[in-house]
A and B are shown apart, each in its own frame.
Chain A
């Protein structure tokens, strides 16, 4: 089966129902995408398929054939993507394990809504973070969006 991963074409010989996550990690050795739960609950495995965030632990590889797969490694060559830079500026990660998925989800959100509201962030950013970095994730997204930083404390309903 032919896969387009980070703008390169790869031929893989795997079962059609193998989740994309394990093709990326164990076959392609792209370890930035993480296994957290296996049931689409945590989002640590989030990658883009044709720009859409997908939880690759529950996404059969066959369904990704012929589509553009982007992993954290393909987001930029040198961690220069504005979302990655904002993550460093706001010192978002703690253990960091969920952050590839958080970043991929945030990039997709910002592509669709360059000026997301807090409600937009709440709706899109459903990934789990056990360290509890949500406040800084929100601040970093607002920063990339150029939103008034005052709004970052105004997300009460």
Chain B
């Protein structure tokens, strides 16, 4: 996969302003002039370029970090274009060109499982529009009616005259055609590329070492930086003695960054890092130096008890009266800890500052975020910042919210001779201890059952920090952080009297979007509490859910499919126990069921995981399967071992020996249930995780009678066999 390298001579689009919706995909073409690209290809529109040799280049604006949309998003364009997928080449959109063109390619940020569902309309429109222009060009040349022309698998044909041609012959003429004012998109029944499991285009370079990640950039004259940031968030550098470090072989510069970090620059990274370890740094902790996890837990407990909190919009009826009249009332508190992202590629960035331009290379989920960090750090114009596209070695939200590492790299480069490229690479310890963590949260739930075993009243109090409020000062809407509350802002269960509120509980710990965000933790409380209520009602957890979901057909559908797949209505083998859960994250509907056994020592053997998802429309089923498999690993790692704790204001976990992740020997058997019922476009990268955690914990309860209400499981005497 080569990166797009469009130079200024190829900027051939007239732009007025960014338009809303799908409009920016079309109408940007310069009418009346066939524009030949430097390599002989013609731009039909900003997404589609066709060369005389029939090669179709489709632009990809978002990022690739293993989630697969660099393949699936272009499938949307190719289908409407009726291209031959074998002739499709995919190129990243150039970030600088995108900015100079008023962000013509729409969102680049790759977060929230949004790439397909939020770009599908303009991408399909771009394909359909290009197809229409190809047909018009062929009709002109052949002197036939455009309505009689067929396009299929990269071939334009006219049955009446027996003519046919590849796309390339008409590329230049198509580019000169007027952009159709509107196009009709295909009926899903006619899709032939959408819905196909084409191999991911970014996989081949990942098996021979040729894939280029942010940390792999190598430039002439490059120097290398290692950084140590204040171990206490919000702390600063008081002083440091660099005399020993400066005398080490290869060391070029020692500097402080933003008053809160010390960096060493050397002629290779190992020398920089080795020298950094010899620097004694005195820190000022600025008031946070005695904060421990216990203090934070006490703060959250107080939030659960606070007399008032912000009301959620889905409250209805009179929950207090319903609870007072209930036959049985249950109350339970749940706790989910801070978690780090820990992608395999640690944070880092390469920056080179020249008088007329700043170049940055970094693995990211937010290419424009890199540009913003450079602009803010150096005071340069965004048009003069060039962010280069690379594969990210995992993102999971870490590289989407904050691009703090890009700022550090820019500030280091600013202290070096002009034109010196510097590559900053964090150690794993820096990565673990300077993350933007999944928010810690507590949940207090109350539920009432009537004499028929129906949930008659429901109350939920959520105590959590707010990611966007803390990271960017974004005000809460009516006092509620909706990413922390997702899962409680709309229940799939029909409960007439329900009340939910949110208590903002800030700490000094930086917060960030962690794969599946609120949906990574709220189902741990919600879906276990539903099981608790089912138990109190003396009912089966699956059928108890179903009877409360009469009005939610899509939630019911995926839950039924998953229950069928695990054979819920037949008893499991002796000694094996089951749990089930359902969730509705990021526009999709997901459910999971787990079979496990637990021995006397608390060792959990997971026998089978069923992961089900209904994405509505589904672009690349094998990639969806891969995302579900990965999401299961992600969820079980967090369930078993995941926690970030603090003592004296500092994160205690530092590397994979004390921030454990699941390994091959612990990998359960996973079966996936893919449903594409049509009618909507749901997300894929994150939803799979949401139901796993509660289904797993519900199965543990079934096996042991232990209801785990706080994570991780290692603190409850459990291990993974």
A residues contacting B by CB (< 8 A) are 15, 18-19, 22, 25-27, 29-39, 41-42, 44, 71-73, 75-76, 78-79, 84, 87-88, 91-100, 103, 121-123, 125-138, 153, 155-157
Give the residue among B206, B655, B669, B670 with the most A Cβ atoms within 10 A: B206
| Nearest CB of B to A57, in Å | 10
- Pick from B207, B216, B396: contact of A84, CB below 8 A: B207
Contacts of A103 in B (CB 8 A): 207
- Complex contacts, B664 vs chain A, CB 8 Å: 121-122, 125-127, 134, 137-138
Given contacts A34-B393, A71-B209, A84-B207, could you give 16 more A-B pairs where the C-beta distance is less than 8 Å? A29-B218, A34-B344, A36-B344, A39-B428, A72-B209, A91-B203, A95-B65, A95-B393, A96-B205, A96-B206, A97-B343, A125-B664, A135-B670, A136-B626, A157-B605, A157-B721
| Cβ contacts B616-637/A at 8 Å (1 or 0 each) | 0000001100100111111000
Q: Which residues of A contact B670 (CB under 8 A)?
A: 135
**Cβ of B712 under 8 Å from chain A:** no
Q: What 3 A-B pairs have minimum CB-CB distances, sorted nearest first?
A: A32-B209, A132-B633, A96-B206
* Contact of B428 with A38 in the complex, beta carbons under 8 Å: yes
**Quick one: given A72-B208, A95-B343, are A18 and B270 in contact (CB under 8 Å)?**
yes
Chain A, residue nearest B429 (CB): A38
B209 x A35 contact (CB < 8 A): no
Q: How far in angstroms is the closest Cβ of chain A from B179? A: 37
With the chains together, A75 CA to B428 CA distance in Å? Answer: 27
> Known contacts A34-B345, A37-B428; is A130 also within 8 Å of B661 by CB?
yes
Choose from B203, B215, B269, B669 the contact partner of A155 (Cβ within 8 Å): B669
How far does the Cβ of B611 sit from chain A's closest Cβ, in whole Å?
11
In the complex, what distance in Å separates the CA atom of A118 from the CA atom of B394?
A: 27
Q: Are A88 and B199 in contact (CB-based, < 8 A)? A: yes
CB-defined contacts of B454 to chain A, threshold 8 Å: none
Q: How far is the CA of A98 from the CA of B209 in the complex (A)?
A: 10
Cβ–Cβ < 8 Å partners of B209 in chain A: 30-33, 71-73, 100
Contact of A130 (CB < 8 Å), options: B203, B210, B344 = B344
Chain A residue at minimum C-beta to C-beta distance from B64: A95
Q: Is the CB of B270 within 8 A of A26?
A: yes
Whether the pair B66, A95 counts as a contact (CB closer than 8 A) is: yes
B626 pairs with A76, CB closer than 8 A? no
Instruction: Give 1 or 0 for each of B322-350: 1 = CB within 8 Å of chain A CB.
Output: 00000000000000000000111110000
Kindly state whether residue B298 has any CB partner on chain A within 8 Å: no
Inter-subunit contact B208/A97 (CB<8 Å): no
Residue of A nearest to B670 (CB): A135
Can you list 5 A-B contacts with CB-CB less than 8 angstroms, sorted by A residue number? A18-B271, A31-B212, A76-B208, A87-B207, A94-B394
Hey, which chain B residues are within 8 Å of A92, CB to CB? Answer: 203, 207
A99 and chain B: residue at smallest CB distance:
B206
Q: Quick one: which of B66, B343, B605, B656 contacts A93, CB cutoff 8 A?
A: B66
Closest beta carbon of chain B to A120's beta carbon, Å: 11
Residues of A within 8 A of B206 (CB): 87, 93, 96, 99
Query: A-facing mask of B665-676, CB < 8 A → 1, else 0?
Result: 101011000000
Contacts of B665 in A (CB 8 A): 122-123, 126
Q: Does B204 contact A (CB under 8 A)?
A: yes
Of the residues B211, B268, B425, B662, contact of A96 by C-beta under 8 Å: B211
With a CB–CB cut-off of 8 A, which chain A residues contact B632?
132
With A96-B393, A121-B664 known to touch, is A32 a contact of B630 (CB < 8 Å)? no
| Chain A minimum-CB-distance residue to B664 | A125
Q: What chain A residues lie within 8 Å of B224 (beta carbons)? A: 26
**Beta-carbon nearest neighbor of A133 in chain B:** B630
Complexed CA–CA distance, A155 and B392 (Å): 32
- Cα-based distance from A94 to B631 in the complex (angstroms): 12
Q: Are A95 and B345 in contact (CB under 8 A)?
A: yes
- Interface membership of B85, Cβ < 8 A: no
Please, how many angstroms separate the alpha-carbon atoms of A94 and B626 in the complex?
8
Report the bound CA distance from A34 to B213 in whole Å. Answer: 10
* A88-B203 contact given A32-B208, A35-B215, A132-B629, CB 8 Å threshold: yes
Residues of A within 8 Å of B631, CB to CB, are 132
Complex CA–CA separation, A92 to B207 (angstroms) = 9
**CA–CA, A117 and B629, complex, Å:** 22
B607 adjacent to chain A (CB < 8 Å): yes
Contact B427 A27 (CB under 8 A): no
With a cutoff of 8 Å between Cβ atoms, the chain B residues found around residue A137 in the complex are: 664
Selected from B345, B391, B626, B661, the residue in CB contact (under 8 A) with A128 is B661
List B contacts of A29 (CB < 8 A).
Answer: 218
Chain A proximity of B67: nearest CB distance (Å): 7
Please give, as numbers and ranges, the residues of chain B lying within 8 Å of A34 by CB-CB distance.
213, 215, 344-345, 393
Cα of A126 to Cα of B655 in the assembled complex, Å: 16
A2 shortest CB reach to chain B, Å:
19
Query: Closest residue to A140 on the B side, CB-wise?
Result: B207
Cα distance A128–B213 in the bound complex, in angstroms: 18
A26–B268 CB distance below 8 A: yes
* Residues from chain A with Cβ under 8 Å of B657 in the complex: 39, 41
Partner of B66, one of A31, A44, A84, A94: A94
Q: A38 contacts which chain B residues (CB < 8 A)?
A: 427-428, 655
Nearest B residue (CB) for A33:
B209
Interface assignment of B200: CB less than 8 Å from any CB of chain A: yes
Residues in A whose Cβ lies below 8 Å from that of B213: 34, 97
How far apart sit A106 and B601, CA to CA, in the bound complex (Å)? 32
A37 to B431 Cα, complex, angstroms: 10
Nearest B residue to A97, CB-CB: B393
Cα–Cα distance between A155 and B665 once the two chains are bound (Å)? 9
How many Å from the CB of B162 to the closest CB on chain A?
40
**B208, B210, B428, most chain A CB atoms within 10 A:** B208
Docked complex: B245-275 residues within 8 A CB-CB of A? 249, 268-271
B202 at the interface (CB under 8 A from A): yes
Residues of B within 8 A of A39 (CB): 428, 655-657
Q: Does B472 contact A (CB under 8 A)?
A: no
Q: Does B477 contact A (CB under 8 A)?
A: no
A19 contact from B66, B67, B200, B270, Cβ within 8 A: B270
Residue B2 is within 8 A (CB to CB) of chain A in the complex: no
> Which residues from B are CB-within-8-Å of A133?
626, 629-630
Q: Which residues on the B side are within 8 Å of A153 (C-beta)?
A: 669
Q: What's the Cα separation between A19 and B269 when bound, in Å?
A: 11
Q: For the complex, give the distance between the alpha carbons of A157 and B605 in Å.
A: 9
- Residues of B631-682 at the interface with A, using a CB-CB cut-off of 8 Å, are 631-634, 655-657, 661-665, 667, 669-670
Cβ contacts under 8 Å, B270 to chain A: 18-19, 22, 26
Q: Which of B346, B425, B630 contacts A131 (CB 8 A)?
A: B630
Question: Contact between B203 and A134 (Cβ–Cβ < 8 Å)?
Answer: no
Knowing A37-B428, A42-B656, the reply to whether A138 touches B667 (Cβ < 8 A) is yes
A22 contacts B269, C-beta separation under 8 Å: yes
Q: Could you give, for residues 382-396 of chain B, a 1 whenever the CB lies within 8 Å of some chain A CB and a 0 otherwise?
A: 000000000111111
Q: Most chain-B Cβ atoms within 10 A of its Cβ — which of A41, A131, A136?
A: A131
